[in-house]
């Protein structure tokens, strides 16, 4: 740290991304990426767009927004495209949480919410999950803060029912409720259908998981026209060209290949069932997941130890050194071959360490 850093950032604790090892024979099950390549249509579009990199991209993202609008049955004025969903989440903290209102989110959830609150100087309340690691909807009723809920939640994988989400929105008419649907294509029901009914609902989405485009950095928000205008204000005041031309083109390509996204999500769901069943047979407790990962623990080996032993053997999973969940590991669902290898290696680790 230099002596020039602003005082207000000196205590900031940044988000810690999962490890991204380069090279080697690593089975990477730690950041919930897709094991499948992007759609051929996305690749082709991105390559064509590369030829026009001398020009600025369309700041309005018209074509991509229209494709999104069509797919989700909304109007394009209900859609904002961002540089990953992380960007729209940050915009939402900036736009809708004053230092007075603050934010509320579960104690166990996506780790970035806290960082966005901190960097924007927003106070926040962490609402404890119940002892089954579920969100209790009543805890959010009339909370009088901007609410952030990942549905399905991470790293648990548990989804709230759409009725429960609606009750949370309904019971916070004076505040924005942000539903982060990063994993919705793997389970749970989207709240997009509610945006016409509730002007305070913002649904965020990402192309990083089910659409195999984590490297492209593309996210989106769907909400009432008013909320999108507010978020647009923040976008045009920070980074009007937030989506680069190749990513924008790839996004249009990916949306034109819905079959591919759907088929991959089905494969992941099947592999998730396989992984869950094998882990249970090996003595793990596995939380039923609606996402592209499972959260699992074993009574005879600590979460940290299992993580380390798998890593030594070339398999990366995600361990969180947080008191309530330190016994668990979050395991991204990969290809069937990767999951078979993961199960085999996990059994070896158990045999050698119990």
Q: Report the residue from 57, 84, 221, 251 that binds ligand PLP according to the rule CB under 6 A.
A: 84
Q: Report the residue from 206, 244, 245, 289 that binds ligand PLP according to the rule CB under 6 A.
A: 206
DSSP one-letter code for 301: B
127-160: b or e for each residue (b if 16 or more CB lie within 10 Å)? bebeeebbbebeebeebebbbbbbbbbbbbbbbb
Residue 220 found at the interface with ligand PLP (CB under 6 A): no
Smaller CB separation from ligand PLP, 57 or 219: 219
String of contacts with ligand PLP for each residue 109-148, x by CB under 6 A:
-x--------------------------------------
Number of residues near ligand PLP (by CB under 6 A): 13
Element (H, E) at 103: strand 103-106
Residue 161, Cβ neighbours under 10 Å: how many? 12
Among 85, 71, 55, 87, CA closest to 244: 55
Residue 314, Cβ neighbours under 10 Å: how many? 14
Smaller CB separation from ligand PLP, 184 or 301: 184
Residue 214 found at the interface with ligand PLP (CB under 6 A): yes
Residue 174, preceding peptide bond in cis (omega within 30° of 0): no
d(CA 248, CA 218): 8
Residue 232 found at the interface with ligand PLP (CB under 6 A): no
d(CA 109, CA 252): 30
Residue 86 found at the interface with ligand PLP (CB under 6 A): yes
Residue 214 CB, nearest distance to ligand PLP (Å)? 6
Residue 85 found at the interface with ligand PLP (CB under 6 A): yes
Tell me which residues in 21-60 interact with ligand PLP (CB under 6 A).
32
Residue 284, strand partner residues? 298
* Residues in touch with ligand PLP (CB under 6 A): 32, 84-86, 110, 150, 154, 180, 182, 206, 208, 214, 219
């Amino acid at each position: 740290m230099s002596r020039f850093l602003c005082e207000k950032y000196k205590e900031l604790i940044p988000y810690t991304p999962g490890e991204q090892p380069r090279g080697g024979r690593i089975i990477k099950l730690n950041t919930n990426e897709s094991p499948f390549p992007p759609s051929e249509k996305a690749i082709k579009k991105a390559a064509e767009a590369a030829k026009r990199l001398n020009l600025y991209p369309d700041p309005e993202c018209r074509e991509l927004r229209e494709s999104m609008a069509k797919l989700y049955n909304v109007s394009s004025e209900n859609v904002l495209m961002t540089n990953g969903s992380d960007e729209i989440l940050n915009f939402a903290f900036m736009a809708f949480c004053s230092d007075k209102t603050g934010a509320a989110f579960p104690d166990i959830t996506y780790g970035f919410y806290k960082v966005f609150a901190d960097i924007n100087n927003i106070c926040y309340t962490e609402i404890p999950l119940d002892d089954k690691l579920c969100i209790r909807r009543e805890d959010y009723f009339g909370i009088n803060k901007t609410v952030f809920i990942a549905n399905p939640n991470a790293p648990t994988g548990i989804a709230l029912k759409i009725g429960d989400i609606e009750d949370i929105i309904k019971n916070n008419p004076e505040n924005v409720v942000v539903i982060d649907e990063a994993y919705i294509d793997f389970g749970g029901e989207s709240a997009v259908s509610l945006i016409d009914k509730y002007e305070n609902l913002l649904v965020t989405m990402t192309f990083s998981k089910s659409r195999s485009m984590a490297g492209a950095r593309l996210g989106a928000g769907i909400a009432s026209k008013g909320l999108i205008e507010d978020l647009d204000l923040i976008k045009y005041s920070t980074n009007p060209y937030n989506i680069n031309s190749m990513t924008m083109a790839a996004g249009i390509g990916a949306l034109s290949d819905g079959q591919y996204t759907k088929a991959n999500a089905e494969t992941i769901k099947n592999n998730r069932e396989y992984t869950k069943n094998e882990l249970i047979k090996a003595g793990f407790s596995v939380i039923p997941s609606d996402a592209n990962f499972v959260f699992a623990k074993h009574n005879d080996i600590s979460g940290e130890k299992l993580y380390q032993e798998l890593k030594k053997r070339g398999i990366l999973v995600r361990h969180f050194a947080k008191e309530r969940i330190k016994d668990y590991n979050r395991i991204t669902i990969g290809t069937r071959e990767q999951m078979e290898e993961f199960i085999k290696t996990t059994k070896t680790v158990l045999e050698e360490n119990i």
